[in-house]
Amino acid sequence: MIHKLTLQDHATQPHTVRGAGQDVGRSCILVSIGGKNIMLDCGMHMGYNDDRRFPDFSYITQNGRLTEFLDCVIISHFHLDHCGALPFMSEMVGYDGPIYMTHPTKAICPILLEDFRKITVDKKGETNFFTSQMIKDCMKKVVPLNLHQTVQVDDELEIKAYYAGHVLGAAMVHIKVGSESVVYTGDYNMTPDRHLGAAWIDKCRPDLLISESTYATTIRDSKRCRERDFLKKVHESIERGGKVLIPVFALGRAQELCILLETFWERMNLKAPIYFSTGLTEKANHYYKLFITWTNQKIRKTFVQRNMFEFKHIKAFDRSYADNPGPMVVFATPGMLHAGQSLQIFKKWAGNEKNMVIMPGYCVQGTIGHKILNGQRKLEMEGRSTLDVKLQVEYMSFSAHADAKGIMQLIRMAEPRNMLLVHGEAVKMEFLKGKIEQEFSIDCHMPANGETVAVTTNPSVPVDISLNLLKREMALGGPLPDPKKPRTMHGTLIMKENSLKLVSSEQALKELGLNEHQLRFTCRVQLQDPHSDSDTLHRIYTHLKSVLKGYTIQHLPDGTVMVESIVIKVSSCAEDANTKVLLLSWSYQDEDLGSFLSTLLKKGLPSGLC
């Protein structure tokens, strides 16, 4: 059986502009399995301003709408490079089928999409883009998934989500059609961090495991070193009397960083105030209450004991505090400095080189965040005014990704039969391919953009065996069959609808209402022999016994010789007593032996037989 897997438009190209090096990419994979077509993720390429940012759907079908072609769409998590093109695909290209994603993803996706839309349309003045209504219409098509719950998309296609770590609500997905299956990892992380657990999957042995190759080629710096860098920067700024602004999205990293700062402040006995804008607190609490099962053990315990944001050193922010003298740290939304409180604070603090802004994640083009991360030091604000950016700008990546070790761990967990690594690099990844193939003895495919991969699978065909047949086989004795030494057995295979059954022939005939027919062959052989009938028979018996060693040969009192189940009778010819007529009779099953006997006896009996 062959899966056709077409990789569509996946590109991971580093978009380095003046030292920023924000790596961007887009995920959108089309899988054909058992006659079903599934789209995995539908990301926007954030590095482009033109149509190249959307996946090229004409690849799938020339005549516009995708509903007939796709059986379902699955979104792994809320990052824009995985879901940014979803409203475009469903509302502008056209798709009305189900879109599957986890509950947290469903809650957070529309918020990010709307922010993204506002920035792109309102700020950048783009026209060929999806509208707010389109986002809402798109989300109406979403069917939420729970972890480890099998969902029947239709009679043949089923999917199941697994915990992926990485961000709140991120999932790896297992797709099964009949006896064939694929697992798509999306973005995942194999080590738990302060607020999320590690990815986990059972030994589901999919035919194919699909993952990003970037994981396999990185060796991650430890989490503590990243945290150290963050704390060091904050501390340096505070020590010189500066103010630190940390723009965050309501969820995820914000909690992590708060916990970190709280611990540090406690340990170092620091006095500078840390603030958290209230809008953030409410939203975050709300989401955490909803999705508590998605965070890790530690957070869950803490949450039960107290409110998420009851920190000793972190207080609620009031916008008047931004003008207070002296050092302070403020967490404010939104994360890309494109509007709201974080932008207001930024405008106030940008002019002082003692201050600092720490960007904890990727910023979309068109936002202030994106501009300053690209080294821009003069910004055009509303009303033609310019803002001189004198404060220190720091870009830190806290996103949790697996690495070379992690991908090997995942393969070990799931035990796929084939591996597929999606990559955007031009370099031939021979080493990587070799490493996976050697370690796990499986094929590793690494197609480039737009390339089609055909993966051959050995589906196992389950067949029920009737108890009688099984008992009969067991009664034959001998060693029990094992996978390395299979034993041949005979039976009749009945295929009814989608089930296969192995039964004995008699039972098959009965079930099918057929009569059993027996084929028997008879053959007459003439022999010259002067003895009496019974003596001739005895001579035949002796002869056969000497020739056919190892066979069951009996001389029966009723005047017949039996070789296995073949019957031999002797009678004299009416005209001549010396001409004997041998009657051989055998059933179809003993045809070979029967033919052999008739040929043998036609040669006559050797002299010297007594």
Partner 1 sequence: MRSEMEATDFQDALDDWFMESMKTYKDLHVYQLEDPTQVLEWTSGKTVCVAGFHPSKNEILQLHLPRKLLADENKGLCAERDFKVVHGGFTDGPVRCLTHVPGTRCIVTNDGLTSDLQVWSVGGDDSDAIKLTGRVKGRSNRRRRSLPGAVCRVAATRSSQVLHGAASGDVRLTELTSGQVLYTLETDSDEPLSSLRFVGDAVFLAGCSNGNVYVADTRTPAPPRLHPPPTSPGDPALWQTEASPGGAVVRLSACGRAVMSDTRSPGGAAGRARLEVPPGGRGQEGGVSWAPALDSCIAVSGFGAAVRIYDTSAWPTEPRDVPPLFEHRGHAVSSQPAAAAVLVTAHVWHPERPRTLLSAASDGSVHLWDWIDGSQ
Catalytic residue numbers? 212
The interaxial angle of helices 253-268 and 278-290, nearest 10 deg, is 120
Question: Are the CB atoms for 168 and 294 separated by under 8 Å?
Answer: yes
Nearer CB in complex with partner 1: 9/394: 394
225 sits near partner 1 (criterion: CB under 8 A):
yes
Compute how many residues bind partner 1; rule: CB under 8 A: 50
Cα 232 to Cα 149, 228, 248, 271, 372: the distances in Å are: 44, 6, 19, 16, 21
Output the smallest distance, CB 166 to partner 1, in A. 16
Q: Which of 7, 20, 345, 601 binds partner 1 (CB under 8 A)?
A: 20
Neighbours of 420 (CB within 10 A): 24
Nearer CB in complex with partner 1: 323/430: 430
Output the smallest distance, CB 56 to partner 1, in A. 25
Quote the CA–CA distance of 87 and 15 in Å, as a whole number.
25
Q: Which residue has the tokens 């035990």?
A: 415
405 sits near partner 1 (criterion: CB under 8 A):
yes
Output the smallest distance, CB 209 to partner 1, in A. 19
Nearer CB in complex with partner 1: 404/548: 404
What six digits make up the tokens of 17? 């502009």
Question: Are the CB atoms for 75 and 105 separated by under 8 Å?
Answer: yes
Nearer CB in complex with partner 1: 94/351: 351
429 sits near partner 1 (criterion: CB under 8 A):
yes
| E strand or H helix at 136 | helix 132-140
Question: Are the CB atoms for 461 and 179 separated by under 8 Å?
Answer: yes
Neighbours of 473 (CB within 10 A): 17
Residues 554-583 that bind partner 1 (CB under 8 A): none
23 sits near partner 1 (criterion: CB under 8 A):
yes
Q: Which of 151, 396, 465, 500 binds partner 1 (CB under 8 A)?
A: 396
Over the window 347 to 386, marking each residue x when it contacts partner 1 by CB under 8 A and - when it does not, the resulting string is --------------------------xxx-----------
Range 435-446 burial, b when 16+ CB lie within 10 A, else e: bbeeebebbbbb
Over the window 203 to 222, marking each residue x when it contacts partner 1 by CB under 8 A and - when it does not, the resulting string is -------------xxxxxxx
Residues 232-261 that bind partner 1 (CB under 8 A): 232-233, 235
Quote the CA–CA distance of 416 and 172 in Å, as a whole number.
14
507 sits near partner 1 (criterion: CB under 8 A):
no
- 15-23, 77-85, 561-569, 573-581 -> range binding partner 1 (CB under 8 A): 15-23
**327 Rama sector, left if φ>0, alpha if ψ -120 to 50, beta otherwise:** beta
What six digits make up the tokens of 190? 């194999």
Output the smallest distance, CB 10 to partner 1, in A. 19
118 sits near partner 1 (criterion: CB under 8 A):
no
Output the smallest distance, CB 83 to partner 1, in A. 22
Output the smallest distance, CB 185 to partner 1, in A. 19
Comparing C-alpha atoms, which of 125, 107, 8, 77 is closest to residue 365?
Answer: 125
Output the smallest distance, CB 233 to partner 1, in A. 8
Q: Would you say how long the chain is, in residues?
A: 610
For the chain, how big is the Rg over CA atoms in Å?
Answer: 38
Nearer CB in complex with partner 1: 405/472: 405
Comparing C-alpha atoms, which of 13, 110, 111, 31 is closest to residue 453?
Answer: 31
Nearer CB in complex with partner 1: 388/425: 425
Task: Identify the DSSP state of 422.
Answer: E
Question: Are the CB atoms for 294 and 165 separated by under 8 Å?
Answer: no
Nearer CB in complex with partner 1: 80/407: 407
Quote the CA–CA distance of 215 and 446 in Å, as a whole number.
13
397 sits near partner 1 (criterion: CB under 8 A):
yes
15 sits near partner 1 (criterion: CB under 8 A):
no
| E strand or H helix at 256 | helix 253-268
Output the smallest distance, CB 300 to partner 1, in A. 18
Q: Which of 227, 256, 529, 590 binds partner 1 (CB under 8 A)?
A: 227
Nearer CB in complex with partner 1: 431/588: 431
Q: Catalog residues that contact partner 1 under the rule CB under 8 A.
A: 18-23, 216-222, 224-229, 231-233, 235, 263-264, 267-268, 373-375, 392-397, 403-405, 408, 426-432, 434-435, 438
